[in-house]
């Protein structure tokens, strides 16, 4: 890994320790060129398996972009979106899985989105769960009214 100070292409590891309860390793490095020290972190990259069969790294930005679309015209500000993105990321990280299905991502979004805005939640759920009829919407609205958990 190159030195972030002088771009020297080489650096020396002087210390390694577990971080995030063993989910990551932090390394203290020293640059033989400029002598400055910096820290790197190595962790499993959580990959999302898309329905198309393609996998890509989990991206909080992509989650937020998807939810932002569902929130169009709704009184949901960027702070709330950022917070939701953070919640989803935490939930996904907590699974510890190296590969996450788009289904799990959807579930992790639905809970906090429902708390945030019910209309946006319905829009998102209609796409994510593939609502095909008014009945599907009616059932979901009923469940919202009854404050039952999503999917009940
Ligand atoms: Zn350097």
Q: Is the pLDDT of residue 152 over 70?
A: no
Residue range 73-129, pLDDT digits in tens: 999 999 999 999 999 999 998 888 899 998 889 999 999 999 999 999 999 999 888
- Span from the CA of 45 to the centroid of ligand 1 (angstroms): 27
- Span from the CA of 18 to the centroid of ligand 1 (angstroms): 24
Is 99 in contact with 49 (CB distance < 8 Å)? yes
The predicted model scores a pTM of 0.73
Per-residue tokens: 140: 């979901």
Kindly indicate the confidence band of residue 6, based on its pLDDT and cuts at 50, 70 and 90: very high
- What are the beta bridge partners of residue 52? none
pLDDT of amino acid 147: 66
- What are the beta bridge partners of residue 40? 27
- Span from the CA of 116 to the centroid of ligand 1 (angstroms): 46
pLDDT of amino acid 95: 87
> Can you tell me the mean pLDDT for 40-50?
90
């Amino acid at each position: 890994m190159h030195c972030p100070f002088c771009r020297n292409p080489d650096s020396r590891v002087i210390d390694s320790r577990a971080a995030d309860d063993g989910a990551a390793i932090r390394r203290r490095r020293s640059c033989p060129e400029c002598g400055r020290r910096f820290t790197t972190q190595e962790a499993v990259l959580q990959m999302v398996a898309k329905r198309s069969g393609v996998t890509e790294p989990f991206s909080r930005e992509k989650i937020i972009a998807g939810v932002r679309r569902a929130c169009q015209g709704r009184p949901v500000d960027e702070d709330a979106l950022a917070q939701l993105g953070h919640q989803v990321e935490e939930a996904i990280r907590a699974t510890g899985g190296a590969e996450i299905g788009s289904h799990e991502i959807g579930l992790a979004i639905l809970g906090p989105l429902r708390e945030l805005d019910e209309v946006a939640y319905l829009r998102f759920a209609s796409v994510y769960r593939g609502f095909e009829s008014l009945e599907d919407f009616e059932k979901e609205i009923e469940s919202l009214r009854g404050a039952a958990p999503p999917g009940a």
